[in-house]
Amino acid sequence: VVRMVEEAQGTKVPIQEFADRVTSVFVPIVIGIAVFTLLLWALAGGPLRGVLEGVQGVLPWVDPTLSAATLALVATISVLVIACPCALGLATPTALMVGSGIGAENGILIRNGAAIQTMREVHVVVFDKTGTLTLGKPEITDIVPLGEDEATLLRLAATAEAGSEHPIGRAVVEGARRRGATVATPEAFEALRGRGIAARVDGRDILVGSARLLRERGIEIAPGEAQVARLEGEAKTTMLVAADGRLIGVLAVADPIKEETTEAIAALHALGLQTAMLTGDNRRTAEAIARRAGIDHVVAEVLPDGKVAEIRRLQEVHGMVAMVGDGINDAPALTQANVGIAIGTGTDIAIEAADITLVRGDLWGVVSAVKLSRATFRKIRQNLFWASIYNLIMIPLAILGLMHPALAEVAMATSSITVVTNANLLRRTNIRGK
């Protein structure tokens, strides 16, 4: 998992700030305009002096009696002062600073400004299932013995899962104990990534996992297929239990979706976003949960490296993609996504791999993050407008000598104050999901 995270980090393209590109072009242009102003006054000082004489009554600071060299110098200095790109330099970072502060106040921790910028361009939000859309606290709901009695089936499965750290494995152990089963330590244990577990219990070889796992081991699953289809259609996760190469039963586990899931997904749709669910669970269960939550696209039965491939596929089809997850297996996909969003109640590696962390683990935080991103960049665009409008109006006046350097300084300072004040008005924006 760590290796895949590092690979995804190496392929992620950093985002260039628009204001930096503008400034890199703007500064040499202004210097060129200043030189042009100096040459203009040197070559056409007479006609320009006449312009000053005509407006002297309206603009009392204009003094056409100054020498040609002084007028040229005043005009050139005014151009340089009024065009000082302070406001352009402040436009983006002030809005990002205020935006990230608002995010923190609402339980949205943003690791870098690029995440805010990218979030507003996202077209699809992809959710992990367990612990993200659901509570992450599965419980045994059904026990279907096939060839063994219920107590034996439950004891063998729970003892085999005693070595597992997976939430479903823990649910089997806890459910067995609540039902009075004796759970021992398995004689041998192996976690089979994305498939289930293999263990040795009471001298018997036990498999607990997906139909894929049993098929790979050559075990006939036909006796339980009807029960599996029924349970999965009820949005339950099923596990087949085999002992010594024979299917002995089916266990079903349910993980209820979070209270806010359906409303949060609807709010994302209202914002014009598509949603997808990415899970290692079986397709029937995944589709049943997706229907309840209102998810648009379902990608089921995927391994951790498969999640990364699916994120890449969605990026190719839809463009910018955000991924929301909480588990170790989600970390590579969180890094591959344009914006990775970690549930704060999840694992440390998922939080470390993500660009944004939702401290409260509430899916309304995803809605708030989208709103915050869009509001922040509205302010950035407004700031760039105010930073530019002063230059567009004042530079021509400065070239003609109608702007005193002191007034140019006031106008330049005013543009910076306007930008900072406008950025702080972002605090009035309501980004709460509900």
Cβ 353 vs Cβ 371: under 8 Å:
no
Are 87 and 419 contacting, i.e. CB atoms less than 8 angstroms apart? yes
Per-residue model confidence as pLDDT tens digits over 35-86: 998 888 888 877 877 777 777 777 777 777 778 888 888 888 888 888 777 7
Q: Which of 140, 130, 131 is nearest to 231 (CA)?
A: 140
Which whole number is the average pLDDT over 270-286?
Answer: 89
Q: How far is CA 163 from CA 176, 330, 348, in A?
A: 14, 22, 21
Burial of 107 (0-12, 13-18, 19+ CB in 10 A): middle
CA distance 285 to 293: 12
Q: Which residue has the tokens 């060839």?
A: 147
pLDDT recorded at residue 434: 60
Predicted TM-score of the model (pTM): 0.77
Using 50, 70 and 90 to split pLDDT, how confident is the model at 3? low
C-alpha 417/C-alpha 411 separation (Å) is 10
Give the pLDDT of residue 311.
92
Residue with the bigger pLDDT between 217 and 113: it is: 217
pLDDT band with cut points at 50, 70 and 90 for residue 23: confident
pLDDT for 270 equals 94
The helix or strand, by DSSP H or E, that contains position 89, with its residue range, turns out to be helix 86-105
pLDDT for res 177: 92
pLDDT, tens digit, 9 for 90 and up, residues 240-253? 999 999 999 999 99
378 falls in which pLDDT band (50, 70, 90)? confident
Average pLDDT (165-181) is 89
Report the candidate in 346, 370, 374, 371 with the shortest Cα–Cα distance to residue 360.
346
pLDDT greater at residue 275 or residue 302: 275
Catalytic residue status for 128:
yes
Residue 172 backbone dihedrals phi, psi, to 5 degrees: -65, -45
- On average, the pLDDT of the chain sits at 84
**DSSP per-residue string spanning 201-270:** ETTEEEEEE-HHHHHHTT---HHHHHHHHHHHHTT-EEEEEEETTEEEEEEEEE-PBPTTHHHHHHHHHH
Is the per-residue pLDDT at 306 higher than 90?
no
- The label of the residue with tokens 């000598």 reads 401
Q: Helix 222-233 crosses helix 283-293 at what angle (to 10 degrees)?
A: 10
Distance CA 385, CA 409 (A): 19
pLDDT-based confidence at residue 122 (cuts at 50, 70, 90) = very high
Q: Is residue 248 within 8 Å of residue 266, measured between CB atoms?
A: no
Residue 125 φ/ψ, nearest 5 degrees: -110, 120
73 and 404 Cβ atoms separated by less than 8 Å: no
Annotated catalytic residue within 20, 63, 128, 326: 128
Q: Cα dist. 290→126, 228, 257, 306, 337 in Å?
A: 12, 18, 10, 19, 21
pLDDT at 263 over 70: yes
Could you give the percent of the chain with pLDDT greater than 90? 33
Q: Quick one: pLDDT band at residue 189, thresholds 50, 70, 90?
A: very high
Helices (H), 120-198: 150-161, 167-178
pLDDT of 108 higher than 50: yes
Q: Supply 398's token pair.
A: 């400065």
Which residues have a Cβ under 8 Å from the Cβ of 244 and sit 6 or more positions away? 204, 205
- What's the confidence (pLDDT) of residue 12? 35
Q: What single-letter DSSP state applies at residue 296?
A: S
Please count the other Cβ atoms lying within 10 Å of the Cβ belonging to residue 257: 19
Q: CA 180 to CA 162: how far, in whole Å?
A: 15
In the structure, what pLDDT confidence band is assigned to residue 404 with cuts at 50, 70 and 90? confident
Q: How confident is the model at residue 432 (pLDDT cuts 50, 70, 90)?
A: confident
Reading the block at residue 42, the tokens are 């040197």
Contacts of 258 (CB under 8 A, 6+ apart): 133, 134, 135, 363
